[in-house]
Amino acid sequence: MPPAPSIPFRQAMLFWLKLGFIGFGGPAGQIALMHREIVERRRWLSESRFLHALNYCMLLPGPEAQQLATYLGWLMHRTWGGIIAGTLFILPSLFILIGLSWVYITQGQQPLVVGLFYGLKPAITAIVVQATWRIGSRVLHNAALWGITLAAFVALFGLGLPFPLIVLGAGLVGYLGGRWRPQLFQTTRANTETPNDEAPLAQPAHTRLHWPRLFGLLACGAALWCLPMAALTLLFGWQGSFTQMAWFFTKAALLTFGGAYAVLPYVYQGAVDHYGWLTPTQMIDGLALGESTPGPLIMLVAFVGFVGGYVQAQFGADQAFLAGALAACLVTWFTFLPSFLFILIGAPLVERTRRQLHFTAPLTAISAAVVGVILNLALFFAYHVFWPHGFAAGIDGLALGIALLAAVGLLVLRRSMLEVLIACALAGLLAVLYGHVI
């Protein structure tokens, strides 16, 4: 069954490319942007299908926003649709980060860069807070789900529990709740999905499970990992920097749940403390760079790879940029390859469970818990933007003012995210140039 004519392949691919350039605000903002464009504005997919895909991606290790783009691309245009959607979602940020990483490591701190970053950080804070509210309003339909969100927030913020434990607890609550109080864990509210909503992609043939296809994808995925890893081992040895980067970021992609923010502590520990690819200050600067550029925040790994490859100059001092660019591409490949396989292999299985409450109830509870986790991260980010030197030093009133202006632009004036980011970046630049920021 071919894709519905109402979802032109070329138009969808142009959307994914555009998203790769304007996907600011971290996973919450990117997911909200996909929802607004795909469900609300273009009506390519129904609310229930979008949320079901989102719930599955929330369960996976790795970047949930990129995985969601891959899932939706696959749902609309088969395997190549998923591959192209997921690739275009990250490709612009890879090239942007390679360029910015080179500027960062060669040019140092310039007033232009400082000013742009100063204005972008409050804007991104406003975008993340707004996106958290938008996602919560789509997921939290009753007091029980609100309770799960609050419990997840307290567990993370107050008790410091690990994210996987929160996910498992929410899944257990959803499983039991789906058996005892199933009406509380329906995936959508009443009237959210209509027959017309579901008509374009009622049950495409490629969403059905085919075992030969599954085994073929497993074999292809194994080859795409083993061949580059074998080549790196032969060329540089197992202990070589490039080989160890490939191995480390493969583990990061497989072992860290909760999206980009959950990956960061693991990456910091390995890249800074264990391997010494970059310094703690460089890691913090890389996080700011990742927050201020489009694409998934986990693209910070490209910065880590570039700095590590550039400093170690594997090909000699005169080819340091080539070493850094190759390292950035390698870590991106090994970080995102598992995400593509999780979706292309697992999505047909998940589509079979779309109307089965015993499966959807745990996912709904997990989605509610993740809202609390995102809220915690939004508050954590706001603290570092508005109180950069701690509570004792007082609030940064100018940064708070820029964030409030961003919120007005987004919520009241209904300006696009890109327009708001440009305006805030210019405001930050003017503040630095005229001496209002030290």
Separation CA 140–CA 5 (nearest Å)? 33
Reading the block at residue 230, the tokens are 């074998």
Element (H, E) at 362: helix 357-386
φ, ψ dihedrals at 61, nearest 5°: -70, 150
Coil, strand or helix at 51 = helix
Q: At what angle do helices 300-312 and 260-268 cross, to 10 degrees?
A: 20
Residue 298 near residue 28 (C-beta atoms within 8 A): no
**Spatial CA neighbour of 2 closest among 54, 72, 78, 56:** 78
Separation CA 271–CA 266 (nearest Å)? 8
The single-letter code of the amino acid at 262 is A
Residue 16 near residue 73 (C-beta atoms within 8 A): yes
Reading the block at residue 234, the tokens are 């032969």
End-to-end CA distance of the chain: 61
CA angle 28, 33, 35 (to 5 degrees): 95
Furthest C-alpha separation in the chain: 67
Separation CA 275–CA 269 (nearest Å)? 9
CA angle 337, 344, 296 (to 5 degrees): 50
**Spatial CA neighbour of 58 closest among 69, 71, 46, 67:** 67
Domain residue ranges of the chain, discontinuous segments joined by +: 1-187+252-438
Instruction: Write down the pLDDT at residue 97.
Output: 92
Instruction: Write down the pLDDT at residue 308.
Output: 93
Instruction: Write down the pLDDT at residue 193.
Output: 42
Separation CA 240–CA 245 (nearest Å)? 9
Instruction: Write down the pLDDT at residue 261.
Output: 60
Instruction: Write down the pLDDT at residue 258.
Output: 57
Residue 76 near residue 44 (C-beta atoms within 8 A): yes
Separation CA 31–CA 350 (nearest Å)? 19
Residue 270 near residue 68 (C-beta atoms within 8 A): no
Residue 28 near residue 374 (C-beta atoms within 8 A): yes
Reading the block at residue 126, the tokens are 């406003």
Q: What are the pLDDT tens digits along the chain (438 aa)?
A: 344 446 889 999 999 998 888 876 667 678 878 888 898 888 898 887 888 788 788 777 778 889 999 999 998 998 999 999 999 999 999 999 999 899 888 876 677 777 877 887 788 778 777 767 776 777 788 888 899 889 988 987 888 777 668 878 888 888 887 778 777 776 544 334 443 344 444 556 666 667 788 889 999 999 999 999 999 999 999 999 999 999 999 988 886 655 666 567 678 778 888 899 998 778 877 876 776 678 887 888 999 999 999 988 888 888 999 999 999 999 999 999 999 999 999 888 777 665 555 566 777 787 788 778 778 767 877 887 888 877 888 888 888 999 999 989 888 888 877 788 789 889 988 888 877 655
